[in-house]
Amino acid sequence: MKKSFHFVSIGLLTIGVLSLILMPQLWVPEPILVLRIGAGASIFIFLLLIAFLLQIFLAGKALGQKEFQAQLDKANRHHEKEHLQFIRRLDHEIKNPLTGLHTAFTNFIEAHEGGERNQAKDNFYKALGRLTRLLRDLRKIYDLDSQVIERRPIEISQLVKETVEATQALPTYVRREIKVLMSTVPWPLPVVTGDRDLLGLALYNLLENALKFSDNNEPVEIRLREDGHSVFIEIADKGTGIPPDEQSSIFEDLYRASNAQHVIGSGLGLSLVRRIVNLHNGDISLRSINNHMHGSVFTICLPTKNQRKAG
């Protein structure tokens, strides 16, 4: 668009220059209307014109400033709203395990027999674990927002393979089926530049979600492909799916979908994934249904060359 304007300007300028040179030779201009005004009047008209243009300029500027201020106010209000929402969600995420901690401790003190005390002790550690997980994930987010990430070549296929192996080695997922489908013809997947450990963490978070939210006998698929500019990593499951009206909020800090409240997690996993992908100049998207056919497909798109600014 910008380029075509440039060409039109050059064309017009060329025509103008040619007219200036050629026209006097072809056609001698004759006055059509002669207006005679005094020097004072011409100064008056000239200054009037200047004043008029100045007023238009100032009015435009004031309008621009007003619009800018309105946009700034809107952004501030949005930021304030997000901030309050974060605090409300954090309050919710802290008060539950804290109440659990309090109750478990009371049970431990007041219980008479060993079995009841042991149960209270287990519950105490569970609540403690939940609070620790929340803090750990909050710290990861802080760390991501404040540090410069490593940028080195990464073979995504190798990273995916390692993440799958490490996940399947965990006792919880040892029997779970994780299929990896990778495009290798006519060429292997290109290398991506970035932080291997962070991308590994992002993959693990998505993979863990896929496993957590689907039945033990349902497989999870990871599909890898490329389009010449980017590498696409799809993580697909036949899990509970995410309600359509909640899909736009799913990557927000501490957001938990209405059908995921019972599943253990900090509510920060997907927001971490989004941050990590953005730090790699990539995108993440979601397709999900939760009716009779249910499941989700998360797609990470990573550029194979760093086209935008590096962190």
Partner 1 sequence: MSKNRPTILLADDDPTITDNLPPFLERAGFHVLAVSNGRDALEKAKIHQPELIILDVLMPLMDGREVLRRLRSQNIWIPTILLTQIGTSTERAIALEEGADDYLNKPFDPHELLARIHAVSRRTQSGKPLLSTAWHLTSGDLALDRRARRASLADNPLDMSPKAFAVLEYLMTHPGEVVSRERLLQSVWGWDYPAGGRTVDTRVFEIRRLLDDDPSAPTFIETLQGEGYRFVAPVRATV
Contact residues toward partner 1 (CB under 8 A) are 132, 135-136, 139-140, 142-143, 146-147, 150, 152, 162-163, 165-167, 169-170, 196-197, 200-201, 204-205, 208
Residue whose tokens read 């290398």:
191
Would you say 141 or 289 has its CB closer to partner 1? 141
CB of 176 to partner 1, least distance (A): 13
Would you say 211 or 302 has its CB closer to partner 1? 211
User: Phi and psi dihedrals of 184, rounded to 5?
Assistant: -125, -10
CB of 62 to partner 1, least distance (A): 44
CB of 114 to partner 1, least distance (A): 23
User: Phi and psi dihedrals of 152, rounded to 5?
Assistant: -135, 160
Which sign does the torsion angle of CA 12, 14, 20, 23 carry? negative
Q: b or e along 112-127 (b: 16 or more beta carbons within 10 Å of the residue's beta carbon)? A: eeeeeeeebeebbeeb
* CA distances in angstroms from 21 to 25, 37, 54, listed in the order given: 8, 30, 34
CB of 128 to partner 1, least distance (A): 9
* Residue 235 and residue 207 in contact, taking contact as beta carbons nearer than 8 Å: yes
Would you say 201 or 270 has its CB closer to partner 1? 201
Would you say 222 or 288 has its CB closer to partner 1? 222
Report the SS3 class of residue 227: coil
CB of 195 to partner 1, least distance (A): 8
CA distance 236 to 297: 4
Would you say 34 or 148 has its CB closer to partner 1? 148
Structure tokens at 276: 């990590």
Structure tokens at 291: 């009716």
CB of 163 to partner 1, least distance (A): 7
CB of 302 to partner 1, least distance (A): 18
Structure tokens at 142: 């802080």
Would you say 163 or 230 has its CB closer to partner 1? 163
Report the SS3 class of residue 205: helix
Would you say 66 or 139 has its CB closer to partner 1? 139
Q: Which helix (H) or strand (E) holds 298?
A: strand 294-303
Closest CA to 209 of 154, 165, 251: 251
